[in-house]
Amino acid sequence: MGLLADGLQGAAIEHLWEIPLILILSWLAARLLGTSRSWISVVVTGLIGWILGNALVYALSEGAQSNPGDSVEQWVLAVLATMLVQVATDLVARPGAAWRHSRHGLPRPIRATRDAAAQARRSGEILAIAARHGLTRADVDETGEGGIGVRLRLALQDAGGMFVKLGQVMSTRTDILPDHITGQLARLQDNVAPVPPEEVRRVLESELERPLEEVFRRVEWEPIAAASIGQVHAAVLADGREVVVKVRRPGIARDVRRDLQALERMGGLLERRAAWARQYRVADLAEEFAQGLRRELDFRIEARNGRELAANMAREPGVRVPEVYAGLSSAAVLVQERLVAPSARRAAEAGIDEEDRRRAAALLLRVFLRQLLVDGVYHADPHPGNVFVYPGGDLGLIDFGAVGRLGPLQLAALRDLLLALAERDPRGLLRAFTSVVDVPEALDEQALRRALSAFVGRHLTPGATPSASMLVELLRLLAEFGIAVPAELSTAFRGLVTLEGTLRQLAPGFSLIHEAQTIAVEVVGPAIAPGTTLQDLATAELIRMAPVLRELPWQADRLLDQAARGDLSARIRVLSHQDDVRVLSRLVNRLVLGLLAPLLGLAAVLLMRTPGGPVLTGGTRLYEVLGGVGLALATVLILRVVSAVLREGVT
């Protein structure tokens, strides 16, 4: 051991020039594994592999080779050892997770190490809290005092930080979670203390890059609102304009990133361990929440959303959107015009008469439907605190941190859904959804149609009072048949439910569904003659389908005739989708490599043990060299297959 230590110490001093070559070989090892790694990974794994490879040579030669790099065998073993180290890091870090970070910017190893330690510590805390409340158990009671809802609420409350906000968001996911869970999560309270004025001043001056007095004549240090991400202050600009200033909490970006990484790990862990987590798709909920919260951290996104919605609503007179002062705003500070009016929650007590409030409700519904069905960009959180009401029925809209976006397919599906609801057509409902969702292969379509017919009977019969909450029930019904509605559509439905609550607070008795059937014609079909109803639109749709319907009897007769003659045949293309071809090709390639590697290794061992053969130099025979090369190649192939499996995940 002493000889080994002395040899390694001498090698480290005398052969520093070999380090660039070591790094090149480390990069080569990564390429042999089929991976792309950051420079930190290349440096660390290369040095460790070089030390291990040469230590093995020293041990095998009993110190006869005193300097690294003196033989080809040492470098070959160093490359193989480096590959082993890289595979080991992938195994420890969960497939690919250790190296999924930005490769841009200056390296900050101390900060990275500190952040990694904080993330690991936070993950351990969350895991301990989840275990303490029994959430990691395979089976948990659904209801009762020890039910999953109570346990989840208590665990999120103990975790604090972003986990309380997560629970509040989950309480709105009535499309996925049952009432006994959402009811418990709705009890979570965000106990956030305001940021002290001196810290707010420090953030403002840092972002504005000048003294506060040069920008503001006055700042009200008592916040109008305080939340987990930031808080809002009233202020007056130097030129006298009244504004509101939204300031991100100091250090919150770092804390959010830490909590979200712990949350995403926990979501996957819970789904692997607990049946209740798989049932309610906890990992998907965590990922959706994380994506939304990361967007909320950057106030520039909210400013951009506000400008986009303001441009779209310019054709709607009576709707005000606060102007954003881009020159004073940044990722951590948002300065915008202050709207002075009561919110929808306080409109009645502020003296806005009933007729104006009803006019404001109709205008709000028309604006939302235009955003949802025409523009494809809509306010995703139209709760009463985000809607202001002016005398005369004008509106003001604020808080564009949560904005939903719909593509052409989703827009068409929503329009078809509206027509199907108006016509009480279960088949139309099914067509509207299947155009934008992945339908399971084992779907019992007849049973789904019967369930949709029962849904229509419950909510859309002549005496029924439909509400937006029936859309949430519709999402649950589809989920029971294994149909996962895209997040864009489920967010839109939740927005409609929130909107309905705001409309009823403005004008009690206001029916979103009934009013929407009239207003939708105005916003969707501006070219249609006045007085057109949704029934007229459905009739027009049937007229457009007439050519297809005319062809159906002839096509059916042709098929029956072919069947009677025995000429009816079907041609099915196996693996017609490129994704299927790719998956099968990858599996076949991996199977070939997995079989070839041990065969090559066995042949190499047999070749090395074969006596005789041409002698090269120093008594080394050709069979030994070829066997060593074959064994090295077999090792590379095996490690490449293992690395690929680890990157894609082991379940």
Q: Is the dihedral of CA 41, 43, 46, 49 positive or negative?
A: negative
Domain end (from 65, 99, 133)? 99
CA distances to 278, 442, 584, 586, 589 from 575, rounded to whole Å, are 30, 19, 9, 14, 17
Same domain, 360 and 438: yes
**150 found inside a domain:** yes
Same domain, 45 and 138: no
Same domain, 451 and 389: yes
**314 found inside a domain:** no
Angle, helices 162-170 vs 148-159, to 10°: value is 150
Average pLDDT over residues 552-565: 70
Contact 422, 517 (CB under 8 A): yes
Angle, helices 622-648 vs 19-32, to 10°: value is 70
pLDDT at 194 over 70: yes
Beta bridge partners of 405: 377
Same domain, 140 and 273: yes
b or e along 262-282 (b: 16 or more beta carbons within 10 Å of the residue's beta carbon)? bbbbbbbbbbeebebbeebbb
- 528 band by pLDDT with thresholds 50, 70 and 90: very low
Same domain, 384 and 487: yes
- Rounded to whole angstroms, how far apart are CA atoms 215 and 200? 15
Same domain, 52 and 167: no
**205 found inside a domain:** no
Considering its fold, how many domains does the chain have in total?
A: 4
> Average pLDDT, whole number, for the chain?
77
**439 found inside a domain:** yes
**366 found inside a domain:** yes
Domain carrying residue 358: 343-527
Same domain, 279 and 408: no
Residue for token pair 């990922």: 287
pLDDT tens, residue by residue, 106-139:
445 566 667 677 777 887 888 888 888 888 776 6
Q: What is the pLDDT of residue 549?
A: 58
Q: What is the pLDDT of residue 101?
A: 40
pLDDT tens, residue by residue, 622-633:
667 667 767 777
- 258 band by pLDDT with thresholds 50, 70 and 90: confident
Same domain, 518 and 619: no
Q: What is the pLDDT of residue 9?
A: 53
Same domain, 92 and 136: no
pTM of the model: 0.62
**418 found inside a domain:** yes
**509 found inside a domain:** yes
Same domain, 608 and 641: yes
- Rounded to whole angstroms, how far apart are CA atoms 452 and 644? 44
Same domain, 44 and 143: no
Same domain, 163 and 37: no
- The least confident of 185-189, 462-466, 549-553 is 549-553
**328 found inside a domain:** no
